[in-house]
Amino acid sequence: MTSPPATSAPARGRGGILGPAYLATTIAVFALIAFNAFEAMAVTTVMPTISRDLDGIGLYALAFAAPLASGVVGMVAAGAWSDRRGPAVPLLVSLVLFSIGVLTCGLAPSMEVLVAGRVVQGLGTGALIVSLYVVVGVVYPGALQPSIFASFAAAWVLPSLFGPGLAALVADAFGWRWVFLGVVALVVLAAALLAPVVPSLRKAAVADGEPASRSRLAWAVVAAVMVLAVELLGSTFALAAAPAIVLVLVAVRPLTPRGTLVARRGLPSVIGTRGLMSAAFFCGQAYIVLVLQQRWDLSAGQAGIALTVVGVVWASASQLQARLRNHLTSERAMLIGTLMLLGGGILMWVVVWQHWSAWLAGGAFVFAGAGMGLGFTRTGVAMLAASSDADRGFNSSALSIADSLGAALALSLCGIGFTAATAAGRDPFLAVFGVGILCAVGAVVTAARTPCQPAATDNPVVSRPQGPG
């Protein structure tokens, strides 16, 4: 089994994440997250415009679910690859796939082609996320991991501040296609920042793991395809989605720790909490701009303010949990965060139902985002605390798989609900936000079952438990 250089954790932690030992890696990781965040914020802002221009409102939810679902394939491959050879090559491959997907979206002549581009983009994004989690586990000691995860959230601040407004401006001045095409330049810049870091990551191979399992990759493909089939089948006949949902659950079983689907205490519930929090929040994020435009006649730029504020609040709450790492256990942070997420979801549903102020609807979304910043970040810390050298890649993959599949499945259900409610002459947004509330309730339940024991490991970098728990 391969370990990092024999340096003590306290010595390696000296100077923080911006210390000499970590500065180059921190800058590169921060840039990758920031560029990915800009793309996410920009596309969320202009997606209502895209769906109108391409006459694809029926594929609106699928355009968000597609990259999340396909991302699980990239996650599985990157997790196994990283366990065997380290995260350097998966990082580079992820950038190539992401670029191809973004270019396809920018040149798409129809909504169907755009969704296909989003599938390819998701492969790259999924591989990127897992690779970065492995980088954190390899490079940073346990005492610094809450801070580097907080920097992940901080990397969303500038994209949150400027991404929605800039995307709306670009779409108005040059067309929405340049929102995608402009991201390619950012990917090139990210690759340039990453280049000096790659040699050190090659040396930091995590473990001599087995080659990527074909069966796990096959299950990942099944899960991704079935998540997308949920909406495609359910939009025609709701009950037709049931077999696809069952197949999703069957496929998830070998991709996550045993007991995840039944919320077994410890690591399985951490993975479940991550998936359910993501599911609940994405129901709001995907539809907040659309509901503000359709219900309160706001422009894309005005509606994007909600995305801006939630990004700042999420990052601020994430910084707060990092500062409180010695006083706030990961389990407590996850429970408080899920309760805030549930409260924000309920308030948003009521505001839409009663046709109250657009600002109150945005405020409910922001409150949910604060809960995400507090609790969502700690799922990564808790996962790494329960992982060893041999399974860190698998668990990192499982965490991100739950994240993406949870959100993708919830969005597919939102698409079904939106279509069914519209056909029945009812408010489709109540159906959408109702799905989010159900997911948040599940997140609260799993968060109460998350206490983990630290994993036994011969790697001094990750052997320390996270926080006082």
Domain ranges for the chain, please list them.
11-447
Q: Which of 400, 352, 369, 385 is nearest to 70 (CA)?
A: 400
What's the DSSP call for residue 336? H
Long-range contacts of 418-426 (CB under 8 A, 24+ apart): 418/60, 418/61, 419/58, 419/235, 420/238
* Owner of token pair 């599940």: 442
Residue of 154, 159, 160, 153 lying closest to 377 (CA atoms): 153
| Spatial separation of the C-alpha atoms in residues 463 and 118, rounded to whole Å | 38
Q: pLDDT for 121-146, tens place per residue?
A: 999 988 888 788 777 877 788 788 87
Residue with token string 């296909």: 116
Q: Which fold has domain 11-447?
A: Growth Hormone; Chain: A; (1.20.1250)
Candidate from 57-61, 237-241, 419-423 with smallest mean pLDDT: 237-241
Give the global pTM.
0.79
Quick one: angle between helices 60-85 and 23-53, nearest 10?
160
pLDDT tens figures, 228-273: 899 888 777 777 888 999 999 999 998 899 999 999 999 999 999 9
Residues 270-316 pLDDT 10s: 999 999 999 999 999 999 999 999 999 998 889 989 988 988 898 88
Which DSSP symbol is given to 22?
T
Q: Give the C-alpha separation, 22 to 460, whole Å.
A: 16
pLDDT at site 261: 93
What letter does residue 468 receive in the DSSP assignment? -
* DSSP 8-state secondary structure symbol assigned to residue 256: S
Q: Residue 463: pLDDT above 60?
A: no
Cα separation, 189 vs 197, in Å, equals 14
Instruction: Describe the chain by its helix, strand, coil percentages, rounded to 5.
Output: 80, 0, 20
82's tokens: 């990283």
